[in-house]
Chain A
Amino acid sequence: MFAAALLAGAFVSIQIMLGALGIAIVVGLAMALLATTRIVPLRWLVACYVEVFRNVPALTQLFIIYFGLAQVGLRLQPIPAAIIGLGLGGGALLTEVFRAGIQALHHGQREAAVAVGMTPIMAIRYIILPQAWRIVLPPLGNYSIALLKETSVASAIAAPEIMFYARQLVTRSFETPLIYSLTALLYLAMCLPIGRLVARLERRSRAWQ
């Protein structure tokens, strides 16, 4: 009976994680590309975004998006609010990751691509990104695990994920140690396989270098 409710929560947790991961990758990639341009105000804007979101707790960001925006007239449901909040926070982290990945490539790569007649966008699409991708895979994997664990914070804005159900079950049955142990095991069971996958990807990317 406990397991069924927790598994229903796990489904929502994974939904939030995938949604936030999607937003974080898109935002992170866009910001990283902006950060490598020559336009200084854009670089400043990206720096502000990264610093603010990296130095404010996820819980505060979620509260601003869920409770704060409601005050100014924008009401979001808990799950979309969690996806947007965690996604924007992750976007700041991935901006750093992607930028490091792009800058790790020798600038000769881009110059050579442009020299053989590619447009700058083609150079990014066919030369820079495929190589940077292999560099950023391991940190991206680690971030996915961290993100899955961070979804637990979304219970504070009433998103019906694992912790939300766990807290509900506790108030109903008073089996506190049992339920929270089960919750911990459930998170472990989800995080460990991802961890294994990341470790394997890391080995493979090292072999490639």
Chain B
Amino acid sequence: MIEFLQIFVDRLPQWWPEMQTAAGRTLLLTVYAFMLAIAFGLALALAKLSRSTLLRRIASIYIEMMRGIPTLVVLFIIYFGIVPLGITLNAMTAGSIGLGIHAAAYVAEIFRSGIEAIHRGQREAALSVGMTPRQTLRHIVLPQATAIMLPPLMNMLVIVLKDTSICSLISAPEIMLRAKDLASTYFRPMHLYVLAGAMYFAMAWPLSLVARLWGKQLGRGRRPI
């Protein structure tokens, strides 16, 4: 055990610069993918709540489909699968897009259930006491919908962060790929994968704690959905 730790102490200065750069890439992938997921997910949620049957149908099919396909398969289709069609993306771009459009399906459901969870009596009551539709949205609907949506969105962010590890399989230069390279150079897989795990934990745990805290604070006195 002491010997095991000693190797960490000796080798960490050598490993750290590369791992730090890789951690930056992981964060970048997470941010891009999550922004795409929010934008696309919102569009999907609005399509699903719209009056047009066609839009609703398309959004439902997309969401159902994405939820039945592993992230890895989506990434492979985007990175390798469309090359014969003449589109080549670099690994970071393909990773961001793949994770983003996959997570969008889950984000859409979070938005939809958040908006639908607000009883329409709330909106009607606000309008009947003289609020404008804009005020109603700003002061009545959004605060309540946000309370419901924020914790699951935060959990989704953690899931996206963890899923970036899969981008190593399409050679995006993030934590897992660097760990793998260094592990084969130094023949220390245990040390490097534990180090990688610790780095993911250091990034994901605070986010998980915030998600839980928000869930407790904002959800107080409300039945969970």
Interface residues of A (CB under 8 A from B): 51-52, 54-61, 63-64, 67-72, 145, 149-153, 155-156, 163, 166-167, 170, 176-177, 180-181, 183-184, 187-188, 191-192, 195
Report if B57 contacts A (CB, 8 A).
Answer: no
A56-B162, A59-B165, A68-B193 known; A152+B188 contact, CB < 8 A: no
Q: Is there an interface contact between B176 and A153, defined as CB atoms closer than 8 Å?
A: no
A184 to B183, CA, bound (A): 31
Which chain B residues in 133-167 approach chain A with CB under 8 Å?
Answer: 158, 162-166
Complex interface bits, B82-95 against A, C-beta within 8 A gives 1, otherwise 0: 11110000000000
Which chain B residues in 17-69 approach chain A with CB under 8 Å?
Answer: 64-65, 67-69
* A180 surroundings in chain B (CB, below 8 A): 73, 76-77, 80-81
Quick one: which of B74, B80, B197, B205 contacts A170, CB cutoff 8 A? B80
* B205 surroundings in chain A (CB, below 8 A): 51, 55
* A187 surroundings in chain B (CB, below 8 A): 68-70, 73
Q: Is there an interface contact between B190 and A69, defined as CB atoms closer than 8 Å?
A: yes
What is the predominant secondary structure among interface residues of chain B facing chain A?
A: helix
Q: Residue on A with the closest CB to B169?
A: A156
10 smallest beta-carbon distances between A and B, as pairs: A68-B190, A191-B68, A57-B165, A67-B189, A55-B204, A152-B70, A149-B70, A57-B162, A188-B68, A71-B190
Q: Residue on B with the closest CB to A155?
A: B72
Known contacts A64-B190, A151-B70, then 12 further A-B pairs from the complex at CB < 8 Å, ordered by chain A residue? A51-B208, A52-B201, A57-B162, A69-B190, A152-B73, A153-B72, A180-B73, A184-B73, A184-B74, A187-B73, A195-B64, A195-B67
A180 to B77, CA, bound (A): 6
A69 to B193, CA, bound (A): 10
Report if B200 contacts A (CB, 8 A).
Answer: yes
Q: Is there an interface contact between B162 and A177, defined as CB atoms closer than 8 Å?
A: no
Report if B194 contacts A (CB, 8 A).
Answer: yes
* B81 surroundings in chain A (CB, below 8 A): 176-177, 180-181
Q: Is there an interface contact between B68 and A56, defined as CB atoms closer than 8 Å?
A: no
Q: Residue on B with the closest CB to A100?
A: B224
- Max chain B C-beta neighbours (<10 A), residue from A56, A58, A61, A156: A56
